[in-house]
Amino acid sequence: MIEVRNLTKLYGEFVAIRDVSFTAENGSILGFLGPNGAGKTTTMRIITGFMPATSGTVLIDGLDIFTQSLEARRKIGYLPENPPLYADMRVDAYLRFVARLRGVPRSKLADALDHAITVCGLENVSHRICGQLSKGYRQRVGLAQALIHDPPVLVMDEPTIGLDPRQIHEIRGLIKTLSGSRTVVLSTHILPEVSQICDKVVIIADGHVVLEEKLAALPEGSSLEDVFLKAITKERHDLEQAREETLEEVDAGRG
Amino acid sequence: MKNSLIIAGKELAAFFVQPVAYVVMSVFLLLGGFFFFALLRRFDLVLQIYAAMQNPQVLEHLNLNSWVIEPMLHNLSIVLVILVPAITMRSFAEEKRTGTYELLLTAPIRTGEIVAGKFIAAALFVLIMIGLAAMFPLILILFGNPEIGVAFSGYLGLSFLAVGFVAVGLFTSSVTQNQIIAAISCFGVLLMLYVISWPAESGGAAFAGLLRYISLPEHFSRMVSGIIDTKDIVYFLSLIFVALFLTQRSVESARWR
Ligand SMILES: Nc1ncnc2c1ncn2[C@@H]1O[C@H](COP(=O)(O)OP(=O)(O)O)[C@@H](O)[C@H]1O
Ligand SMILES: [Mg+2]
């Protein structure tokens, strides 16, 4: 389970996300949906312990990602926005390196490697150099490194970005198969992706959560697109209202 | 410790698939060979001159260590000022640029282990290089009788110096994601260590003492001339420790930006 509690992150003066909270239940796939620049990457980097929040906490299966960082990080598999490959390493050597870094014991190394290579369909490229792979295969190697240590929690930042339609289809299928009993959070700015693979959707706009809802619980007959647009419009409306109220208060103060 | 070794292994393997490492090693050994034979040639000439002048007293004072090995080690130390930045510039900067930094910093390992791993790998690389350059005094043994102890002390000094340079290089690489900036700032810091005692000639006593202590050539020269003093070893160990400590802080603080 991933519990995100009141995350706020400032880059200098700039508020990237504010008061972001949501929960990904055990064994479910959560779609973290939002337009570009909404704060998805920022949130995921905080969840995975890459950087701290300005305030708020994240619990990974009950472990705090900051105060119990090593234990919490041990549970996570992470595919960043750009697959973190070493361009001059061979695919199999790279995966072995990540497995050892992630604490896979030597006795289980060969099995873990075989499994990740088979699941992600990397048999034909396992001896190739990472830097020479196509975008689709780079993404697969990225997935393989994220699940090499069989983590209970999987975090993926826009796993289908930059792929062609056939590759997108393949990667989505792959995510479904390998999610299994894991808790998965994946970010995307593509609506249909969420309805195709997720159990739950969290919509983020301008740095804060505007909707957290199980897909099954969405109003009957309304497409996710309607919900998304409504949520974002409502958000804008609320913001404008808040701004007007503030202005009125200021005016009242002056008067 | 285990995690450091995992990282060190990966880094070391990476050195040997990069052309940079081979270029650095070749340049170091070729220049070393050039210095060695040029100095040997000059020594030979001087010997012949004094032999012709039938001056046995001077002949006794001429030795291979001070005419060949010592100047060669001094020259090599300057070569390292240029080459070590080229070895270490990638270490952190490249990981940040390509995004593999996210893999490292989200793995269940401590930042200290990352720094230690990268340090072990780069230090081993320069030590291998210096080890290969030890063939020059070994060649001398075939021709004359250099003082092995003095040569050993000199090579020990060069090793400490190179490993200290590596630690500085790791630090400058950890503060940027641009390899060129990492290399040039490392080069700047290392040169500074050479010249920092210059104002000591005109400064106050306490100030001058401090600058002389920080100044690298003083410590290195003593080791090259065959004196192994704990004071100098402590100097190099402090340099390594301070640079690695700053590197660890810088990697850790990258999380906080
Ligand atoms: N390191 C940074 N420094 C300053 N601003 C940043 C940084 N990273 C992201 N931002 C800003 O924060 C906002 C959210 O970015 P991000 O989390 O990458 O959004 P998303 O992944 O949803 O596209 C954007 O406006 C982006 O420009
Ligand atoms: Mg993003």
In whole angstroms, give the CA distance from residue B27 to residue B87: 12
Tokens of A35: 């337009």
- Using the beta-carbon criterion (under 8 Å), do B108 and A145 form an inter-chain contact? no
- Phi, psi angle pair for A118, to nearest 5°: -70, -50
**What pLDDT tens digit does each residue of chain A (255 aa) get?**
999 999 999 998 899 999 999 999 999 999 999 989 999 999 999 999 999 999 999 999 999 999 999 999 999 999 999 999 999 999 999 999 999 999 999 999 999 999 999 989 999 999 999 999 999 999 999 999 999 999 999 999 999 888 888 888 888 888 888 888 899 999 998 888 888 889 999 999 999 899 898 887 776 666 677 777 777 777 677 767 766 776 677 677 665
- Amino acid sitting at position A44: M
- Using the beta-carbon criterion (under 8 Å), do B14 and A101 form an inter-chain contact? no
Domains of chain A, first to last: 2-75+152-254 (3.40.50.300)
In whole angstroms, give the CA distance from residue B121 to residue B255: 24
Which of B22, B106, B111 has the highest number of chain A CBs within 10 A, making it the mutation to test binding with A? B106
B135-165 pLDDT tens trace: 988 888 887 778 888 999 999 999 999 999 9
Q: From the list A81, A101, A145, which residue is nearest B3 (CB)?
A: A101
Residue B256: the pLDDT is 57
Residue B27: the pLDDT is 96
- Using the beta-carbon criterion (under 8 Å), do A87 and B98 form an inter-chain contact? yes
Give me the mean pLDDT over the B68-88 stretch: 94
- Using the beta-carbon criterion (under 8 Å), do A101 and B7 form an inter-chain contact? yes
A219: which DSSP letter? P
Residue nearest to atom 7 of ligand 1 (CA): A11
Beta-carbon contacts of B181 under 8 Å, excluding residues fewer than 6 positions away, are B93, B172
Residues of chain B contacting residue A93, judged by C-beta atoms under 8 Å apart: 13
Q: Which residue has the higher pLDDT, B254 or A141?
A: A141
- Closest-CA residue in chain A for B18? A88
Domain ranges of chain B: 2-255
CA of A49 to the centre of ligand 1 (A): 16
In whole angstroms, give the CA distance from residue B236 to residue A65: 38
Q: Which residues of A touch B (CB under 8 A)?
A: 45, 48-52, 70-71, 73-74, 76, 78, 80-89, 93, 97-98, 100-103, 145
Beta-carbon contacts of B17 under 8 Å, excluding residues fewer than 6 positions away, are A88
Element (H, E) at A15: strand A14-24
- How high does pLDDT run on average in chain B? 91
Q: Which residue has the higher pLDDT, B79 or B140?
A: B79
With cut-offs at 50, 70 and 90, classify the pLDDT of residue B14.
very high
Beta-carbon contacts of B76 under 8 Å, excluding residues fewer than 6 positions away, are B28, B31, B32, B35, B133, B158
In order of A80, A90, A119, A127, the CA distances from A93 in angstroms are: 20, 5, 17, 8
Least confident of B15-19, B93-97, B164-168, B227-231: B15-19
Please tell me the number of the ligand nearest to residue A159's CA.
2
CA of B182 to the centre of ligand 2 (A): 28
Residue A241: the pLDDT is 74
Q: Which residue, chain included where needed, has tokens 């269940």?
A: B108
- Given a contact cutoff of 8 angstroms between Cβ atoms, the answer to whether A119 and A182 are in contact is no
Name residues contacting ligand 1 (CB within 6 A): A 11, 14, 16, 34, 36-42
The rounded percent of chain B whose pLDDT value lies above 70 is: 97
CA of A83 to the centre of ligand 2 (A): 13
- Phi, psi angle pair for A182, to nearest 5°: -80, 160
In order of A148, B7, B47, B53, B151, the CA distances from B41 in angstroms are: 60, 44, 10, 19, 19
Measuring CA to CA, which residue among B229, B116, B94 is closest to residue B174? B94
Least confident of A203-217, B1-15, B65-79: A203-217
Element (H, E) at A9: strand A2-11
Residue A250: the pLDDT is 66
B68: which DSSP letter? I
The region that residue A130 occupies, defined by phi over 0 for left and psi between -120 and 50 for alpha, beta otherwise, is alpha
Provide ipTM, 2 decimals. 0.88
Atom of ligand 1 nearest to the CA of B257: 1
Give me the mean pLDDT over the B219-228 stretch: 93
